[in-house]
Amino acid sequence: MSPGTIRKAGLGWTPGVRLPTRDGRTYVASGIVIPWWAGGRLALVKLRQPDGRTPKYAEAYRDRPSLYPRPETVHVGRPLAIAEGELDALLLGQDLGDLASVVTLGSASASRTAEAQGRMLTASRWYVATDADDAGDRASEGWPARARRARPPSPFNDWTEAKQAGVNLARWWADRLAGVETPPTFAWEELAALRWGPSFDDPSPGIVVE
């Protein structure tokens, strides 16, 4: 994500904060701080903990969350992509621009509130863009018939992995929104920018971005 996207989302980081559990105990959570907003109201604060820490997402505050990054992200008449998590939603929103609105409900199994459904109904089409795994597939089955599945391009599990591998998400989604069921992971023009195999100066194998 670009610095501008990070700043606009208000992402932060904490080395450690003590949070309560439902049974009255406490534990220390750390990681990326992700605030949810609804208008001018803080609706949820989550911490994305480092790999290996549980829970993966710790919750520090909740007050009727609806859609991330905020309900107003949904534009009337514009296609809507529903990502699985906050970071994928921010990345897709950054790269898709005006092609589609991008939101998340927070996880593959998150329930849809009345406010969230009301906002989403103003979109022209829905694309369930959850991860390419069993949880993402199960979540896509629970949506109304108007929702279409948009799996991350093979062989990637999520949109962040695809972006890191060099997939042009804007081009991929433009094809998907135009009705291409399975857009190519890389277009020919994108592959043309890659050099396959070793060069005369570097005998090591692999694909090199020139």
102 phi and psi angles, rounded to 5 deg: -130, 125
Q: What is the value of pTM for the model shown?
A: 0.85
pLDDT interval class at 127 (50, 70, 90): very high
37 phi and psi angles, rounded to 5 deg: -130, 155
Partnered with residue 29 across adjacent β-strands are: 17
The pLDDT assigned to 111 comes to 55
The pLDDT assigned to 107 comes to 61
pLDDT interval class at 199 (50, 70, 90): low
Percent of the chain past pLDDT 90, that is, above it, reads 70
Average the pLDDT over 171-197 and give the result.
Answer: 87
**In Å, what is the CA distance from 72 to each residue of 38, 66, 75, 123, 210?**
8, 10, 7, 12, 40
* More confident site: 117 or 2: 2
Partnered with residue 62 across adjacent β-strands are: 44
Over residues 101-122, the pLDDT tens digits come to: 999 997 644 556 778 888 999 9
CB 83 within 8 A of CB 127: no
The rounded distance, in Å, linking the Cα atoms of 60 and 51 is: 18
- In terms of Cβ atoms closer than 10 Å to its own Cβ (0-12, 13-18, 19+), residue 157 is middle
Q: Give the DSSP letter of residue 99.
A: G
For the chain, what is the mean pLDDT?
A: 88
* More confident site: 135 or 156: 156
C-alpha torsion 99→100→104→109, nearest 10: -110
Residue 209 has pLDDT above 70, yes or no: no
Residue 175 has pLDDT above 60, yes or no: yes
CB 195 within 8 A of CB 208: yes
The pLDDT assigned to 94 comes to 97
Over residues 18-65, the pLDDT tens digits come to: 999 888 899 999 999 999 999 889 999 999 999 999 999 999 999 999
Residue 207 has pLDDT above 70, yes or no: no
